[in-house]
Structure 1
Amino acid sequence: MKLDEIEDVEIDNEGKFKYILIKAKEKSTKLSKLLVRGYAECPYHADILEKTEQSVNSSEISLSCPGGGRIERNNYEKTLFVFGYSQGFGQADHSKTVSILKNKFPDYTIEYSNEGY
């Protein structure tokens, strides 16, 4: 699997859920990009990383997590709100997360706060 074959964003369709920012790096080229992953089914931020590792399933790509938080998604109002932190990984740079989300959801209002859990 190559880096450009990995979706930048995979988040649940509605509601409030934990998310992590992931740095994916191609071992052969050293190229990297940031990914956003968030799933309500994962009770811990580490579970999201594990699920992503299983889906990428490539010895050519290394994944690391610089931080996490939560996302609240409302499709009716077309809003995404990024906030909080991960007890295990620390707080993600929410401004980077918002930039990535804006590419995937250009018609949504996307905001963040470094407050809350």
Structure 2
Amino acid sequence: MSLEQEVDIDASGQFKYVLINLYLKDDSSKLLVRGYGWGEYHDDIYQKTLELALAAGLDTECLGGGRIRHDPDKKEISVYGYSVGYGRANHSEAVKLIQKKYPSYKVDWSNEGY
């Protein structure tokens, strides 16, 4: 897990994700997608990313969350749902970033489900 990659998600499975705005030292920012099966709550994932950012002298803001279903065999990623604590992320923004990392995948999103 690092702050360098825009998208860092588990290689397969269904898991929670958060969309994070990382504020850089030059007053710019970049969006991050972080999704892991070990995150029991969306906040677990956000707090780990925040910890890394603070250690680097940076700040973040959680823009919401949802879930990701990653099927590497079918080369499909689905982004959907919401976070009870942070609200629904802008899934279309998350999908744009995911599609850049996985250009050969079918990546879609929906506001349905939890």
TM range (shorter): over 0.9
Q: Provide the C-alpha distance between the structure 2 equivalents of 1:105 and 1:55, rounded to a whole number of angstroms.
A: 24
Q: Provide the C-alpha distance between the structure 1 equivalents of 2:11 and 2:22, rounded to a whole number of angstroms.
A: 23
| One-letter identity of the residue aligned with 2:17 | Y
Structure 2's unaligned 5+ residue stretches are none
Aligned to 1:93: 90
> Cα distance, 1:79 vs. partner?
0.2
Aligned to 1:105: 102
| One-letter identity of the residue aligned with 2:102 | F
Match of 1:73 among 70, 73, 80: 70
Q: Provide the C-alpha distance between the structure 2 equivalents of 1:77 and 1:6, rounded to a whole number of angstroms.
A: 27
Aligned to 2:12: 14
The CA RMSD measured in Å over matched residues stands at 1.1
Secondary structure of the residue that 2:84 maps to in structure 1? coil
Encode CA deviations 1:28-74: one digit per residue, 9 max, x unaligned: 32100100000100100000011112333211x11110100000000
Secondary structure of the residue that 1:95 maps to in structure 2? helix
TM-score (normalised: structure 2)? 0.93
Range that drifts further, 50-59 or 40-49: 50-59
Secondary structure of the residue that 1:35 maps to in structure 2? strand
Q: Percent sequence identity over matched residues?
A: 43
Secondary structure of the residue that 1:51 maps to in structure 2? helix
Q: Provide the C-alpha distance between the structure 2 equivalents of 1:116 and 1:43, rounded to a whole number of angstroms.
A: 17
| Over 6 Å off, 4+ runs | none
| One-letter identity of the residue aligned with 1:10 | D
Structure 1's unaligned 5+ residue stretches are none
Q: Provide the C-alpha distance between the structure 2 equivalents of 1:31 and 1:44, rounded to a whole number of angstroms.
A: 28
TM-score (normalised: structure 1)? 0.91
- For these two proteins, the number of residue pairs brought into alignment is 111
Range that drifts further, 5-14 or 91-100: 5-14
